Structure formats: C-alpha cells, structure tokens
C-alpha cells in the first residue's frame, strides 16, 4: 500500500487560491504605495529644511561668519545678534543630529554640508565653542552637541 494523492481540485480550492493571490498582490501594491509616499514625504521634509536654510536671518549669520573677522565681540555685546547666531548654529546642529541618527541620508546631508563646513572652519565659531565648553566645565554644550560632534569626527574642530 503506497501513498495516494488526491488530485481533485474543488471550486472552493480555486477560490481559496485566487483569494490568496489577490491578498499577496494587494499587499505588494500597498507596500509599493507606502514606499512611494514615504519618499515624497521625506523629500517634502528635506525641502522644508532647505527652505529654512534660506531664511534671511540664517543667511545673514553665514555671511557674517564669512565676511567679518572677530564677530565674537559683537556676539557678546548684542542680544539680538547672539540670538541669531544661536538660532543658526542650533539649526545646523539639528541637521547634524538628523544625520547622526541616520534620519537623513548622506545625499540629503550634502545639501547642507558646505554651510556646515563654512561654520566649523570659522575661527570665531571654534572660539565660541571652546568658551562655551569651558563655561560648562569642559563638557560639550548640549545645544550644539551634534554640530560639534560632526566637526570633531571630520577633524575640523581643533579643541
């Protein structure tokens, strides 16, 4: 006596098989749609960040970093200027945070890399970070932690 296989296929079996195939096709379609939607939302978010980069206050601070030597004295004397510098540095620290947490791809980070290099290579920015670190007992100022970490990882910061 050997094994016997039932080769009869009932209408119920065909319906079950078609239902399974439909579910798999629907699942694949949903996954493709979800992935596409995720890419669009990610692009919109990066665009918002990039638009923030073009904010007049941030552009003026970057220009000041590039064109003005010894702006740190002004930072210590003018509250409004200090706020603008802090906002700009915090924004770029947030960009570095997104990269550090792998929430931003390298290709997306490249939109901001040039500005970050301009900031980190500025002598007054480095002096500001050094002073803030000394004031905090040698620890990294938390508001700029990720920007400073990027600078140290890339061997830009010298302190």
**pLDDT, tens digit, 9 for 90 and up, residues 105-127:** 999 999 999 999 999 999 999 99
How many Cα atoms sit within 13 Å of 37 on the Cβ side?
6
Q: Tell the residue number behind the tokens 């970490």, with chain if given.
A: 149
- pTM of this prediction? 0.79
pLDDT tens, 2-45?
Answer: 677 777 878 888 999 999 999 999 999 999 999 999 999 988 99
The first and second tokens of residue 31, run together, are 């996954």
């Amino acid at each position: 006596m050997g094994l016997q296989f039932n080769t009869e296929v009932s209408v119920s079996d065909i319906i079950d098989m078609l239902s399974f195939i439909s579910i798999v096709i629907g699942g694949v379609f949903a996954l493709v749609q979800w992935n596409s939607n995720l890419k669009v939302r990610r692009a919109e978010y990066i665009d918002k960040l990039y638009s923030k980069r073009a904010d007049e206050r941030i552009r003026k601070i970057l220009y000041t970093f590039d064109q003005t030597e010894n702006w740190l004295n002004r930072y210590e004397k003018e509250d409004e200027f200090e706020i603008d510098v802090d906002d700009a540095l915090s924004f770029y620290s947030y960009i570095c945070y997104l990269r550090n947490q792998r929430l931003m791809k390298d290709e997306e980070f490249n939109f901001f890399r040039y500005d970050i290099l301009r900031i980190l290579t500025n002598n007054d920015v480095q002096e500001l970070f050094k002073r803030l670190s000394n004031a905090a007992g040698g620890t990294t100022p938390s508001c700029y932690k990720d920007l400073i970490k990027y600078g140290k990882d890339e061997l830009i910061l010298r302190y």
